[in-house]
A and B are shown apart, each in its own frame.
Chain A
Amino acid sequence: MLGRSIRKNSAVLAAFAAITAGLIAFTFQSTQARIVEAERRAAQRALFEIVPQSRHDNDLLSDTLTLPPDQMAQLNMPEQTRIHVARNGGEPVAFIIPTTATDGYSGDIRLLIGINPDGSLAGVRVLSHKETPGLGDKIELGKNNWILGFDAKSLESPVLEKWRVKKDGGDFDQFAGATITPRAVVNQVKNVLQYFSTHRDDLLQQARSNGISQP
C-alpha cells in the first residue's frame, strides 16, 4: 500500500519535472538568439559611448587584444574580458580597457577606460557599481557629468601628484558626502594610465599586427 503510493507519487513528480523542464527548454531555445543579441548590444553601447562610431570603422566587439594573466591582474581586469581596439582605416585610434576599482564604498566598481594612443583619455564609463544611491552613484553618467571630467586628461595634465580628489590635494572633484567613491575611480584610472604608458608600444604593436591578419 505504502509502496504503491510512493511509486505513484514519484511517477507524478517525475512527469512534472519532465514537463516543466521541457517548457523551460522550449522558452530558452526560443529566446536565446534575442538574449545574445541584447547582451551584445548592451556591451556595444558602452563601447560606443567612449569611442563614437564617427571615430572608428571596425567592429569594436570582436577586435580585441588578449593580455597575459599577470598583466590582467595588474590591470584588475575582470575575467573573460579583453582590451577592445578601435581603429580607423586599420590604424588604432583608441584602446578600451575594462577594469575594476576594488576600493569603492561598497563592492567593486566596474569601469571601461578608453585611452588614445598618445596616452590621453578617450573617456571613462561606469559599467556597474553598488555605491550609495544619491551619493556615490554620481559616477554614473545618467546621474551626473562628473565622469566626463576625465575626457582628454592624461598623466601629463594634470601631473601625477594631482591625480587625486581635491580633498586629498588633487585636481578631481569629490561629491558632497561621498569621497571614497570618486577617490577609488580616480585612483583606478590613474593606475590604468600608468600601465598604458609603460606598455604602450607593446599594445600598439600587437594591435597593428592583429590588424594586418584581419581582412
Chain B
Amino acid sequence: MSQHNYKEIAINGLWKNNPGLVQLLGLCPLLAVTGSVVNALGLGFATVLVLTGSNLAVSLIRHNVSDAIRLPAFVMIIATFTTCTELLMQAFTYELYQILGIFIPLIVTNCVILGRADAFASKNPALPAVADGLMMGCGFLLVLFAIGAVREAIGAGTLFANMHLLFGEVARNWQITLFGADYKGFLIAILPPGAFLVAGLLIALKNIIDARIQQRLAAQKAATTKGSRRVRTTGQIA
C-alpha cells in the first residue's frame, strides 16, 4: 500500500465497508442511543472525534511501539481521546452529555476504533490514517443519523427535536412535526426492538442497492459485448 487512494478510503468508510452496516461493529451504542436524531448525532460526532484522533496518534507512533505492546498502547490512546471528548461534552453540551450518559465513556469499547487502529492506522502514514478515521467515523455517523431519524419520525412523529442540546440556541426551532400534533407515536420504534428492526431494514436496503448496482454492471458488460458482436455482423453483411 504505497499509493494511498483517498477515494477508495472514502468509499470504504462510507459505503463498502461501513462500520455500522457491513462490519456491524459498535452495535451497542448504535442501537441504544438512536431514539432521536440529536442523541444519534451527539454520539456520532463524539465517535468521529475519537476515531480520527486515535487513528492519527496510532499512525504517528507506529514505528516506536513493538508488536508485543501495541494493543495496550492503542487502548491507552483511545481511552485518552474518549476521556477528553467526554470532558469536552460535559463542558459544552452538558444536557446532551447527561442524556447519552454511559455511552460516551463506552466509546472506548467501540470495536470500530480499536479495529481501525490495528487494521489501518498502525500500517499507514498519518494522512491516510486520518482520512480513514474520518471516513469510517462519518460512515458510522451516517448510520446513526439514519436510524435516529427513522426511529424519531415513526416513534414520535418529529424530526430534529431538541437540537439546541447540540447546536445551541439557534437550533431551538429546527423541529419538524411530520404527522400533525395528534400523532400518537408508534411506540415500538422508540423501544430497543425498534432499533434492531430499523438497523436490519437499513442493512437490507444497502444489500438491495448493492445487488442492483451489480446487476446493472453485469447488464452493461453484456450489452457492450453484444453491441460489438452486432457491429461485426453488420460488417460481414456489408
Contacts and interface: CB of A to CB of B under 8 A. Distances in A.
A27 B66 contact: no
B64 A20 contact: no
A31 B87 contact: yes
Nearest to A137: B190
Interface in B38-94: 64-66, 68-69, 72-73, 76-77, 79-80, 83-84, 87-88, 90-92, 94
Contacts of B191: 132-134
Interface residues of A, number: 23
15 contacts: A5-B68, A8-B66, A9-B69, A16-B73, A20-B77, A20-B79, A27-B83, A28-B87, A31-B91, A34-B92, A38-B90, A38-B91, A133-B35, A133-B187, A134-B155
A13 B95 CA distance: 36
A23 interface: yes
Interface in A40-80: 41-42
Interface of A: 5, 8-9, 12-13, 16-17, 20, 23-24, 27-28, 31, 34-35, 38-39, 41-42, 132-135
B105 interface: no
B35 A24 contact: no
A135 B35 CA distance: 15
A23 B91 contact: no
Contact of B190 (A9, A24, A31, A134): A134
A31 B155 contact: no
A20 B185 CA distance: 46
Given A9-B66, A12-B64, A27 B88 contact: yes
